[in-house]
Amino acid sequence: MKGLILVGGYGTRLRPLTLSVPKPLVEFGNKPMILHQIEALANAGCTDIVLAVNYKPEVMVGALKQYESIYGVNITFSVEEEPLGTAGPLKLAEKILRKDDTPIFVLNSDVICEYPLKDLLDFHIAHKAQATIVATKVDEPSKYGVIVHDRDVPNLIERFVEKPVEFVGNRINAGIYVINPSVIDLIEMRPTSIEHETFPILVEKQQLYSFDLPGYWMDVGQPKDFLSGMCLYLSALTKKGSDLLTPTTEEFVNGGNVLIDPSAKIGKGCKIGPNVVIGPNCIIGDGVRIQRSTILKNSQIKDHAWVKSTIVGWSSTVGKWARLEGVTVLGEDVTVKDEVYVNGGKVLPHKSIKDNVETPQIIM
């Protein structure tokens, strides 16, 4: 089994975090984002994983090397000279992906879900078609490409409707596929889209099915959705009864869904949660209140600070009695001085914030 992860470019939507660290290495739930996918692929029996990238940061190569032995996989970087869209990378990595006849998983790197890849594979094999798309149900299908099924054959895709004005269904393409190697024959070596060019051919041939994704799904490519996705991810861990979570019997845990690295220190009289992730070596002072936030590793939240809907970047410091909220994102090594209020500030790395930021803005 093989898997391709569409990583793409610089992850500008997740700035200021991605100014310091390539997007796949930004920790989501205390684990680099890409590791969620690598782990899922390895668990589904993949031995070869291709990362389709527009650029190849050395830091990423080094960081991912260690996981090859941990998960028993080969990780290859397929670097595009020019962005090849969502289908082109499959052609580019053809050599690895076609080395045997087993199906290929294709994942978009921004997506966070429970990755039921084994079930997906079983479904795919059972339906004997060339490709299967994972579908997720959304509240507002009008913003997406909606899947319309055949009236007679269950799960067979009849057509896609891009941003429908009328309700035709609420299942959308979740950005996760399993394809047979032969699908690569349909792709030309140029920038091309799997959704708009390859799938319509398969629909025509009645060779494309959809698999309903159980559980949550979220594109976490930007800060607002990163936090929403974090809530979904933590809720799922709670549902599973995961022992990664900090037990709610801890005095400082409020409302559950709290994931704290064992190396982090928590002060007296804190109230943390719901929906909080605290990374390794973080120091949380006394009387700190945190809700709906991710604190990345080596950061310090000083006494009596109040943090909500915020991503605190690596090695940052939040001062005493400071208050952060409104999807504030602190880049790496940012200092928020004592007693300062920041609402929706996107703060670039190595800045020091001395005055209140009352309205959402970028702090250069």
- Whose CA is closest to 329, among 16, 18, 23? 16
Q: Of 171 and 323, which CB lies nearer to another protein in the complex structure?
A: 323
Using CB under 8 A, which of 61, 358, 360, 362 touches another protein? 358
- Pattern 305-334, binding to another protein, x per CB under 8 A? -x-x-----------xx-x-----------
Query: Which residues, 6 or more positions from 342, have their beta carbon under 8 angstroms from its beta carbon?
Result: 322, 323, 324, 325, 328, 336, 353, 356, 357
Residue 68: CB atoms within 10 A of its CB come to 14
Q: Of 180 and 291, which CB lies nearer to another protein in the complex structure?
A: 291
Helices (H), 9-116: 33-43, 58-71, 88-92, 94-97
Q: Of 118 and 268, which CB lies nearer to another protein in the complex structure?
A: 268
Residue 28: CB atoms within 10 A of its CB come to 18
Tell the smallest beta-carbon distance from residue 335 to another protein (Å). Answer: 18
Distance CA 299, CA 355 (A): 20
- Whose CA is closest to 79, among 92, 97, 91? 92
Q: Of 142 and 356, which CB lies nearer to another protein in the complex structure?
A: 356
What sign does the dihedral 111-244-285-288 (CA atoms) show?
positive
Active site residue ranges: 163
Tell the smallest beta-carbon distance from residue 326 to another protein (Å). Answer: 10
Residue 354: CB atoms within 10 A of its CB come to 11
Which residues inside 135-174 make contact with another protein, applying CB under 8 A? none
Determine if 256 is a binding residue for another protein (CB under 8 A).
Answer: no
Q: Of 212 and 358, which CB lies nearer to another protein in the complex structure?
A: 358
Helices 117-127 and 33-43 sit at what angle, rounded to 10 degrees?
A: 50
Residues near another protein (CB under 8 A), total: 18
- Pattern 266-305, binding to another protein, x per CB under 8 A? --xx-x--------------xxxx-------------xx-
Strands 131-137 and 208-212: parallel
Binding site for another protein (CB under 8 A): 268-269, 271, 286-289, 303-304, 306, 308, 320-321, 323, 339, 341, 356, 358
